[in-house]
Chain A
Amino acid sequence: MEILQTLITKLKYKDIIQVINKIGDEKYCPAVPILIKELKSDFNPYQVRSAIALALSNIGDGRAIKPMIEILEDPNSDIHGCILLALEPFDYTPYIDIIFEYIFNEAYEIRINAFVLFEKIIATLSDDQREIYLNRIIKEVNKLEDIVMKNKRIFDLLLNSI
């Protein structure tokens, strides 16, 4: 494992990504603790942390779930979309509230990835849970419909002024 640690610190990041992809493809479990440590390190560039998330997803070791959720809870992280993608093979049900909020994210990729996870567990939701999620979406829909209406008004005023 020391070799892996050395590789991560010494190699150029394009080469690191190749090594990480290989670890993921081979489902090499002993690498999980180091991958988790490096996943959370801000010193690693975006591409390296994204590759690590996907390798952890391929390996499928449950130890990766909590660190991934912690990243979702950090509003400053830049790999939310990738983490949502990486969570797919895991049992993320206890964290569905956190995941659900990403359905309202500004970034298309993040919204879709969150929805894919949410859709998979819809059938398991109780009626009460359904209502809570439904109310949350309806609130967002009302807000957005109001915004669209106001923007259309200005858009029409602009069109009529030329």
Chain B
Amino acid sequence: MDIINELKEIISFNNIHLDSILTDIVNSHNEEFIPFLLDELKNTENPFLRNKIALTLRDLHCQETVDIVIQLLKDPKTFRNKAVLLSSLRTLDYGGYIEYIVEFIDNNYSKVRNEAMILIEKEIEKCSEFTKQKLIKRFDQKIEDDNEKLGFFYHIINKLTGD
């Protein structure tokens, strides 16, 4: 428990050694810290710390991280950290949330869209036929909408260039 108290102190003071300590936890596969890290992930208001812990738990292959990360993704307070949170799901089983994750293909930030794509691509083979059909419909609609927008922009370009 002493080590956990020490970690608590390091985290609460935003200690510069945080990175190396979290790396040590991952390298030693020390699962003793997992409940504490899950609790911090859920409750911390520090985005930097939240991101670091999410990635640490991912590297520890802690499946319990998934539900917490999905809740965090739905929380407006994480609007600047969606890409990191999505990437923290990479090594975990997030299949049950694939229809939620697909909504990030509309996100304004390319990093967020790319992370969602990586997760979707990894999961395709595991998806049920029903889910695949739903995803196909969603992507089809998205491509159609974007092509419509592109047509509109090409039209304006022609107007501006006098073609």
Which A residues lie at the B interface, using CB under 8 A? 103, 111, 115, 118-119, 122, 130, 133-134, 137-138, 140-141, 143-145, 147-148, 150-152, 154-155, 157-159, 161-162
Contacts and interface: CB of A to CB of B under 8 A. Distances in A.
Given A148-B146, A150-B117, A152-B143, A141 B152 contact: no
B132 A162 contact: yes
Main secondary structure of the interface of B (DSSP, over half): helix
Interface in B106-124: 110, 113-114, 117, 120-121, 124
14 contacts: A103-B156, A119-B159, A134-B161, A137-B160, A138-B157, A141-B150, A143-B110, A144-B153, A151-B139, A152-B143, A157-B124, A158-B124, A158-B139, A161-B124
B21 interface: no
B18 interface: no
Contacts of A118: 156
Contact of A155 (B113, B133, B143, B157): B143
A115 B121 contact: no
Contacts of A103: 156
A115 B157 CA distance: 12
Contacts of B127: 161
Interface residues of B, number: 31
Nearest to A122: B159
B70 to A, nearest CB: 20
Given A157-B121, A159-B136, A151 B157 contact: no
Contacts of A137: 153, 156-157, 160
B153 A134 contact: no
Nearest to B113: A147
Contacts of B8: none
Given A115-B156, A154-B117, A154-B139, 6 more contacts: A144-B150, A148-B147, A150-B114, A151-B142, A157-B124, A159-B136
A154 to B, nearest CB: 6
A152 B127 CA distance: 18
Given A122-B159, A133-B160, A162-B132, A154 B121 contact: yes
A155 B129 CA distance: 14
- Give the 4 A-B residue pairs with the shortest CB-CB distance, closest first: A155-B139, A148-B146, A158-B136, A134-B160
Nearest to B134: A158
